[in-house]
Amino acid sequence: MDHSPAPDAPILFFDSGLGGLTVLGPTRALLPTAPIVYAADYAGLPYGEKSNEELAARVPALLGRLVERYQPRLAVIACNTASTIALTHVRAALDLPIVGTVPAIKPAAALTKSGVIGVLGTEATVRQPYVDDLSAQFASDKTVLRHGSPALVAAAEAKLNGRPVDTDEAAERAIAGLRDQPGGDAMDVIVLACTHFPLLQDELQAAAGADVRLIDGAAGIARRIAHLTEGQPWPAEVAPGIAVFTRSDDRPPPPPAALAPYGIGRIETI
């Protein structure tokens, strides 16, 4: 019996906001005709300020609704905070492949020359035992500095939505949050442990300096998606993707022009 998905079965990307677009981009490069549904939980944004208990309940429930509605072949939790807190709950609740997002501490440990690594994420991500475990497993002989920056998430959202925001100041404050810690002057690699943060790659690089390497896990996630879907049928031609947003009175969906570069052609709300 053939258990392959239909060619038009989409890949579902899920994030609290627009950060997961940084994972969608490299995935599109590897799987150019893959049907895409991009889901942003604007009603729950920002995730970094929510409790573990709230996210452990919210994320599986919302993903369950999205899976029922769009029937994806695979779901990607393109959000470090949701992954570190809710990934095991989602996998227990849903019967399809789930790809999570974890801080790129292992490659950072391999890259550092000074032995000092920065981990820049949301407040929720940097406090997780998961980060402790990754640091112990892959960077036990390194100094791992952490800083949570909700302001960077807000700045990335504002930038992509075309709202005025001082992204340079937000980046400088975030980098200073790492630099000002003991050992921070020697830091030569920074893990962008929030998918929103590569949207501010240029600003963060300018604030960190040319001698500091910024890394994230997006390319590795894209390769994982390609591996899990290897041999599956895809449409012959690319179709515009769908972006779906949970309704929020305070935060309307972004303008279509902001999503068009990522292959999104239709916006829905739930």
Residue 190 sits at the vertex; the CA angle it makes with 48 and 97, to the nearest 5 degrees, is: 55
85 in Cβ contact with 52 (< 8 Å): yes
Q: Who's near 139: CB < 8 A, 6+ residues apart? A: 105, 106, 108, 109, 117
What is the number of other CB atoms lying within 10 angstroms of the CB of residue 268? 13
Cis peptide before 46 (omega within 30 of 0): yes
194 is catalytic: yes
Q: What is the DSSP letter of 37?
A: E
Given the residues 79, 119, 144, 187, select the one marked as catalytic: 79
Out of 194, 200, 215, 244, the active site residue is 194
Q: Tell me the CA distances in angstroms from 189 to 107, 171, 208, 221, one per residue in order.
A: 10, 15, 10, 20
What is the widest separation between alpha-carbon atoms in the chain?
Answer: 60
Clarify whether 79 is annotated catalytic: yes
Which residue, among 212, 219, 172, 171, has the nearest Cα to 189 in the 3D structure? 212
Residues 6+ apart with CB under 8 A from 99: 74, 75, 76, 77, 221, 224, 225, 228
| 3-class secondary structure, 220 | helix
Active-site residues, by number, are: 79, 194
